Amino acid sequence: MVTICPASVLRSATSLCTGLLLVGAVVSCSSPSGENASRSTDSDSTATSQTAAPANSPLQVVAEFREPQIVGVAVAPDGRVFGVFPRWDNNPVNPIAVIGTDGSVKPYPDASWCMWNDSVRNEPQKHWICPQSVHVDQAGMLWVLDPAAPGLKATVPGGPKLVKIDPKTNKVVQNISFPASVAPRKSYLNDVRIDTQRNFAYITESGMGAIVVVDLKTGTSRRLLADHPSVHPEPGLTLKADGHPMIDPTGKPMALHADGIALSRNGEYLYWSPLTSHSLYRIKTEALRNAALSSAQLGSQVEKVGTIPATDGMEIDAKDNVYLTSFENNAIMRRTPAGKLETIAKEPRLQWPDTYAITANGDLYFTTSAIHKTPTWNKGVGKQDQTYRIFKTALPQ
């Protein structure tokens, strides 16, 4: 599944694989065996509609990328936008990047952290291996979650980590490594939320299914609810994205575990959903922090909140509205505390809306990652015929 950029290409220009679309230029990243040849470049009837914005769209394009694939986004208090380009089907030069207002894409926190090759294999805790998410907490600190599983195959020993960076200094201030008991070889740490009042982090693990709880004071972590149905795919569910069945190369329907996550503003409830699921769950965080509870006792406190569209990214606002990226419907939605599902935007440009970020001034940012068009879900042939985007819109009242 992994497509590696030729070393000569990576050395020639640090921004080459980022492929930011500025004045119509398209730059893509190819493999030594000519991976671009396996990507479908034929135009189709949907290409124009996916590019054009509807006249009444509430969405503003913040940035566009032809390659590589973007999944995560976060916004610092000073307005800087951070993007995540995981090492899935290619090898981005800047897997964590600051996306400038001038269209620049710069490595973050520096080029050394973004490097991952044979020369640094013995330093897995000092480099982004396959980062998956970025998140800015209520104190303005930036957190990067690196499951360290290039190509979604297996974790690099010693690589899974949660890294805290101070955006004011651009320096790493905390680096928490996950042991194999918490992040096994087949795990994939997916998304993170931070409770700044209680100094805890909560993480979804989508490779095998679990919720990971981290005591940020001690750096210790626990893998929880691994045997509970709330973190696993719903049996018999075959999802479609943009009408495309999510079937893997072996002919099996996509079955991914706990993915989207949201922490209530008061830190009392954690919400999540498996990606292959139509169910929203929550639990009191007090229970997750209580190490004295048995697995059965903890599981008994999980609540099924309601039925939702399958979602990848999730976030929650100060009024406890839960925002959902509905990749089945090319839409972004929210669920009110009363259980009402509301559509914020629905349009063809929303090719697998992925990850959310909410800013202090009330802007909602999100990415479109077109996961359903990657080789994994198209018999090994990439079908990407559109740019990846970062959008923003004002939070609806």
Q: DSSP string of 124-148?
A: GGGS-SS--EEEE-TTS-EEEEE--
The predicted-structure confidence for 106-165, as pLDDT tens digits, reads as follows 999 999 999 999 999 999 999 999 999 999 999 999 999 999 999 999 999 999 999 999
Do the Cβ atoms of 89 and 69 come closer than 8 Å? yes
SS in 3 state form for 370-383? CHHHCHHHCCCCCC
Per the model's pLDDT, the better-predicted residue between 103 and 63 turns out to be 63
CA angle 1, 390, 262 (to 5 degrees): 85
Q: Is residue 253 part of a domain?
A: yes
Q: Which of 75-79, 82-86, 87-91, 358-362 has the lowest mean pLDDT?
A: 87-91
**Is 95 a member of any domain?**
yes
User: Confidence band (pLDDT; 50, 70, 90) for 3?
Assistant: very low
Residue 62 dihedral angles phi and psi, to the nearest 5°: -90, -40
Encoded amino acid at 147, one letter: P
- Domain of residue 90: give its range: 7-394
User: Is 154 part of any domain?
Assistant: yes
Q: Residue 361: its pLDDT value, please?
A: 93
How far are the Cα atoms of 59, 153, 178, 332, 383 from residue 53, in angstroms, in the given order? Answer: 8, 36, 42, 15, 21
Element containing residue 262 per DSSP (H, E):
strand 258-263
CB 349 within 8 A of CB 331: no
Mean pLDDT, residues 346-368: 97
User: What's the whole-number average pLDDT of the chain?
Assistant: 88
* Number of structural domains in the chain: 1
Q: Judge contact between 28 and 36, C-beta under 8 A.
A: yes
287 φ, ψ (degrees, to nearest 5): -70, -40
Q: Is the pLDDT of residue 30 over 50?
A: no
pLDDT surpassing 60 at residue 292: yes
Decide if 1 is inside a domain.
no
215 pLDDT band, cuts 50/70/90, is very high
Pair of tokens at residue 384: 């990407």
List, in sequence order, every residue forming a beta bridge with 346; answer none if it has no partner: 331
Averaged over 37-47, what is the pLDDT?
34
Distance, CA of 376 to CA of 210 (rounded, Å)? 23
Record the pTM.
0.88
Highest mean predicted confidence (pLDDT) among 27-31, 52-56, 173-177: 173-177
pLDDT surpasses 80 at 15: no
Residues 388, 138: Cα–Cα separation, whole Å: 28
Query: Which residues are 73's β-sheet partners?
Result: 83
Residue 13 predicted with pLDDT over 60? no
Within-domain flag for 2: no
Span of 40-44, 90-94, 367-371 with lowest mean pLDDT: 40-44
